[in-house]
Amino acid sequence: MLELRGYFSDEPSTIYLLIYGGKSLAMGDFFVNGQGAGIGIGFRFQLMERLFIIDLRSFNRSVQFDNLRYRDSNSRGFLTGAYFGLGYRF
């Protein structure tokens, strides 16, 4: 997975944009092949000398249950959705 973030300032409290994507590898019969990508916006803020992060992202994710490429697979799925996350930096 690769994630790129662009912060609007060097201040502890700032808005940022992010782009991410990656590919999962097949590992046995349980973990299957797929790829995903998305874009998002976040806000990093400082509270009592700690950094907190709030993310809101959209994503697209494909999964192949037979470990073939997406276009060659007869057992595949495609997900589109949104993600909301909270983070804390030590």
Nearest one of 7, 40, 38, 2 to 22, comparing CA atoms: 2
Beta-carbon contacts of residue 50 (< 8 Å; ≥ 6 apart): 88, 89, 90
At residue 65, the pLDDT reads: 72
The count of structural domains within the chain is 1
pTM: 0.64
Residue 35 clears pLDDT 80, i.e. is over it:
no
Q: Are 82 and 70 in contact (CB under 8 A)?
A: no
| Domain of residue 42, residue span | 2-89
pLDDT tens-digit series, residues 58-88? 887 777 777 777 778 787 777 788 888 888 7
Average pLDDT for residues 10-17, to the nearest whole number?
Answer: 88
Per-residue pLDDT at 24 exceeds 80:
no
pLDDT at 6 over 70: yes
